[in-house]
Amino acid sequence: MTGLYAVYRRELTAYFQTPLAYVFLAVFAFAAPAFAFHIGRFFDTNRADLAPLFDYLPWLLVILMPALAMRSWAEERDRGTLEFLMALPIPLWASTGGKFLASWTIAALALALTFPMWIAVNYLGSPDNTAIATGYFGALLLAGGYLALGQTLSATTANQVVAFVLGVAACFVLTMAGLPFVLAAIGNGAPAQISEFVADLSALERYNAFRHGVIGLRDIIYFLGLIVASLASAAVLIAERRGGGR
Amino acid sequence: MLVADHLIKDFGTHRAVDDVSFTLERGEVLGFLGPNGAGKTTTMRMLAGCLEPDMGVAKIAGHDCVEDRLQAQSRLGYLPEGAPAYPAMTPRSFVEFGLRARGFSGAALKRARELALERARLGDMANQPIGTLSKGYKRRAALAAAIAHDPAVLVLDEPTDGLDPNQKDGVRQLIRDMAPEKAIIISTHILDEVPAVCSRAIVIDEGRIRFDGTPREMIIKGPDGTIESAFRTLTRTAHNSGMAA
């Protein structure tokens, strides 16, 4: 655990040693309410809930989580520091876990910046605070899934821009998989099992369950599975580099 | 203390390291010499556990660098080629990160960190972001991180590259000071460094060892009695025999 803690601490500090964390948090703090107020028409719904925020949050996370995760390994490879890291006596799961937990901490901070909206709806009415709390929990898990996926794709390249584009594409596909028109398109001519499989893959469907105040074990397992599988893939990709292209 | 046993490494169809074997004991400083692309860095990366050999075994203090990597690496200090370091970190925080990853904490961490910064002569630069430092100070920051945990074995890939003459002298003195307690391997293109700090020299070319002996034994291989001519003779012979083959 000392290795994981050391990497976590270094990564978290690194986010704040450059403008990255500040820019990310500022953009999130501005963009999340902007989506809710202008596109979600927060006040026009006449409902005391955070539906306008939670409706658009996945799409914001599709863009911003890969931006946070893109540097994880691509930057290490580009700067040559990967060799320093690989020469430290720490297992790869500790490096990937430390990097992931640091980026997840930033994501949690970003979500916390939308809490003033939660306070506002409580001031304006009587929202279902349990559903809002589970909604935030779901958003945190969704962010974790996207970050882990982004980290895996960051391990495939030394170019952060490529890592970002791949990350956005992968998160977009994972989110889109649950939309009705995608399922309808697949449903035309494809076996029902394939439609069901694609629907099961959808991060959006799982996230929506949390929004409605339901904490399902299957949904938690889905997100934790996505995180663990993605981080394991990242560790395998980095471990492969020890083989030197064998 | 350090064992390279019939190491082989291929990159595609190119054999970068071809059956390299040597051992190194405590108190020895080995100069690892060879032209660019000879296989020095690849060999050092295998010893550091950053690259797995296709065949053969590398061991640090009795621990296999592949099978028992974490134990081997905990006894090793490694300065990679180009001395990479995180530019936003200060040398102090960079050294601290390495120590923390190795399980240091509290007073032991502070003591080891300050001693390493002092030995690498970082002075006031220890608190400047590494990205703002000169090449020489960057290399010293990476060197400080390599020696901070007082490892039994040091693998230093071109530790004096880019340093001014005073800085080079400082690093050589540091290596001499550490030599009695450690097994040290340094790669260098600065041949004068070999008789100055090394008790032994290995010349490698096209992935194979061409010479293994003391610096004095190496010098007499040269037609005019200099280490430069010896180096040219040893590596040119390799090329000529390669062409003849």
Does residue A119 register a pLDDT over 90?
A: no
Q: How confident is the model at residue A209 (pLDDT cuts 50, 70, 90)?
A: confident
Closest chain A residue by Cα to residue B10: A246
For residue B122, what are the contacts with CB-CB under 8 A and spacing of at least 6? Answer: B91, B137, B140, B141, B144
Domain-embedded: residue B83:
yes
Interface test with A, best of B45, B50, B54, B155 (most A CBs within 10 A): B50
Kindly report the pTM of this predicted structure.
0.90
Does residue A121 register a pLDDT over 90?
A: no
**The predicted structure's pLDDT at residue B237:** 59
Domain-embedded: residue B126:
yes
Domain-embedded: residue B22:
no
Distance from CA of A11 to the nearest CA of B (A): 10
Domain-embedded: residue B114:
yes
B119: number of Cβ within 10 Å: 18
Whether A245 and B12 lie within 8 Å, measured CB to CB: yes
Q: What is the pLDDT of residues A144-178, one digit of tens each?
A: 999 999 999 999 999 999 999 999 999 998 888 87
Domain-embedded: residue B241:
no
Q: What is the pLDDT of residues A20-47, one digit of tens each?
A: 889 989 988 888 888 777 666 666 666 6
Mean pLDDT across chain B, nearest whole number? Answer: 92
Nearest CB partner across the interface for A87, out of B12, B80, B129: B80
Whether B101 and A90 lie within 8 Å, measured CB to CB: yes
By C-alpha distance, which of A23, A209, A220 is closest to A110?
A23
Whether A17 and B88 lie within 8 Å, measured CB to CB: yes
Closest chain B residue by Cα to residue A243: B52
Domain-embedded: residue B9:
no
Domain-embedded: residue B227:
no
Does residue A18 register a pLDDT over 90?
A: no
Whether B73 and A88 lie within 8 Å, measured CB to CB: yes
Distance from CA of A133 to the nearest CA of B (A): 36
Q: How confident is the model at residue B245 (pLDDT cuts 50, 70, 90)?
A: very low
**Total of domains in chain B:** 1
Whether B142 and A84 lie within 8 Å, measured CB to CB: yes
Q: Give the CATH number for residue B190.
A: 3.40.50.300
Which residues of chain B from 134 to 193 reach within 8 Å of chain A, CB to CB?
Answer: 142, 145
Domain ranges, residue B64? 36-207
**The predicted structure's pLDDT at residue B123:** 87
Domain ranges of chain A: 2-243
Q: How confident is the model at residue A120 (pLDDT cuts 50, 70, 90)?
A: confident
Whether B52 and A5 lie within 8 Å, measured CB to CB: no
Q: How many pairs of residues across A and B have Cβ atoms under 8 Å apart?
A: 86
Nearest CB partner across the interface for A245, out of B11, B50, B86: B11
- Residues from chain B contacting residue A3 (CB–CB below 8 Å): 101
Whether B86 and A79 lie within 8 Å, measured CB to CB: yes
Q: How confident is the model at residue B184 (pLDDT cuts 50, 70, 90)?
A: very high
Edge-to-edge order in the sheet of strand B29-33: B76-79, B153-157, B183-187, B29-33, B200-205, B208-213
Whether B101 and A2 lie within 8 Å, measured CB to CB: yes
pLDDT (mean) for B116-141: 92
Distance from CA of B132 to the nearest CA of A (A): 13
**The predicted structure's pLDDT at residue B95:** 97
Domain-embedded: residue B107:
yes
